[in-house]
Structure 1
């Protein structure tokens, strides 16, 4: 895989997830079904690509302690989100309807620690690490300073409304675009 592919594909997979999520909700509820599964798989693909990008961003930031800690935190966030979305897909397959999904989600989140590890805590490391690494790359002039504005918009829009995820992902694509044009190599083994 090349950095250029990941830089473009990760935001586009996230955009696809957001768009499919909107389509899935047009009937008044989300899941279970094809759209639920397809959307979640699209975001899982984006997450895998972002994990790879975290390693590359670490290289670009100098492989020092702050870059390594940020990349590690981001990958921990990716892992938590992959588990979350894996649970979502499994629940979508196991349940016949929205009511069944709610009952299964209740069972999952009632397990001690699951809520923090998979839903309410660790997943946020994914977003925090992105912000920290992008700031670091801007400070090092690997990225132009203006790219921080679309990064902040990308991170803020889903907080306003999850229906803004497709637009949010396009802001991330804009922020990453200067790296697409940069001569690159794949990340070295850690």
Structure 2
């Protein structure tokens, strides 16, 4: 998938995850079932696209040490989130009901190191890396100064209430549209130069 498409598809997949998550909770509990699985698969697909996005943002920021560290940190956060969502999927498949999921989650989180590596620590690198890259792009005037604000809103809203994930995804989509245009422009330039 090209970078331009990734910048648009990732926020849309996060939006899908957020909406599916809300729908899954309408009966008073989330998972297991089709909505749980579908929502998690949408977010996993978004995370995989964010790997490409982070490294494209690194290129756009100038491939310096700071942008490289930010992309590496963000990618490490993606790995942690992929592990978290993978665990969620496995638990969803193994449990007969929501209560059974809770028991399985407790077992997983009781394993030493899992909590910090998969839930309470490393996943935050995804958010920090993403924000750092967008701030760097604003500093080198590759994006407008309001872009990091929109990304920050997207990152903060789920911490206030996870039902705000779709709203945050819309802010992310708005902030990523200019990046998608720039990614397309950087893809076209080498082809023109070679012609």
Same fold (TM over 0.5): yes
- Distance between the aligned counterparts of 1:149 and 1:64, measured in 2? 23
Shift, 1:163, TM fit: 0.1
Q: Distance in 2 between matches of 1:75 and 1:180?
A: 19
Q: Deviations over 1:26-57 (max 9, x none)?
A: 00000000000000000000000001111111
1:129-165: CA deviation from partner (whole Å, max 9, x where unpaired): 1110000000001111121221121111111100000
The alpha-carbon deviation at position 62 of structure 1 amounts to 1.1
Alignment of 1:74-85 (within 5 A): 74-85=74-85
Report what 2:193 is aligned to. Answer: none
TM-score, structure 2 normalization: 0.93
Q: What corresponds to 1:117 in structure 2? A: 117
Distance 1:170 1:111 in 2: 36
So what's the TM-score if we normalise by structure 1?
A: 0.96
Pairs within 5 Å for 1:91-130: 91-130=91-130
- The CA distance in 1 between the partners of 2:138 and 2:111, in whole Å, is 41
Written as runs of structure 1 = structure 2, the 5 A alignment for 1:28-47 is 28-47=28-47
Look up the match of 1:163: 163
Aligned Cα root-mean-square deviation (Å) = 1.0
* SS in structure 2 at match of 1:184: helix
Q: Distance in 1 between matches of 2:133 and 2:181?
A: 19
Q: The residue matched to 1:181 in structure 2 has which SS?
A: helix
Aligned length in residues: 186
Task: Kindly indicate which of the two structures has a greater share of residues assigned to helix.
Answer: 2
1:184 to partner: Cα distance:
2.7
Q: Match of 1:185, SS?
A: helix
Consecutive unaligned residues of structure 2, counting only runs of 5 or more, are 189-195
Deviations 1:43-82 (A, max 9, x none): 0000000011111111111111111100000000000000
Partner in structure 1 of residue 153 of structure 2: 153
The equivalent residue for 1:71 is 71
